[in-house]
Amino acid sequence: MVAISPQSVEQSKVTRNKAGLNFPILSDVGSEYAQLLNITYVLDDNMKTLVESNAGKIFAEINGTKDGTAVLPIPATYVIQTDGRVSYSFLDTDFTKRAEPVDVLNALPPLVNRRLSLSERIDVEMGKLRDSFPEHLMQILFGAVEQLSSEG
């Protein structure tokens, strides 16, 4: 697993340490790689100011850009097999929506000599159900499972 961030190398280290991540974070300063993939957008001045006020830093310090441009990648998740084939992708322009972990796990090749725990098997099966049935039916099902769990 690897993450690619528009943050500077220094800022990525801070983020990695603060979040306790144990995988590499590559720096795509200026979102140049993301621009090649055509998955970027430019913040207008109001959004740039909002990001800077929330971070307490100017954009150039956060993302290491020399010219202060406010280009960001659209958050994306890809599972790429060892043969280079993409077996899963998730991309949404609404940055609050992210890939479901169970969907990513389902796209990974099976690990040799490893049995899934009961909770992992349930997560996988629930992910399959979610993909097969309309959302309102899934809400009823998940509600029933949650109720049963809380009753022991």
Per-residue model confidence (pLDDT) at position 97: 92
pLDDT at 74: 92
Q: What is the pLDDT of residue 152?
A: 59
Angle at 104 between CA 119 and CA 7, to 5 degrees: 120
Is the Cβ–Cβ distance between 69 and 46 less than 8 Å? no
Of residues 111 and 36, which shows the higher confidence score?
Answer: 36
Antiparallel, parallel or unpaired: β 86-91 and 76-80: antiparallel
Q: Domain ranges for the chain, please list them.
A: 1-74, 115-152
Task: Kindly tell me if the per-residue pLDDT of 4 is higher than 90.
Answer: yes
User: How many other CB atoms are there within 10 angstroms of residue 38's CB atom?
Assistant: 7
Q: What is the pTM of this model?
A: 0.63
77-126, pLDDT tens digit by residue? 999 888 888 989 999 988 889 999 989 988 887 765 567 778 777 777 77
Both tokens of residue 63?
């993302």
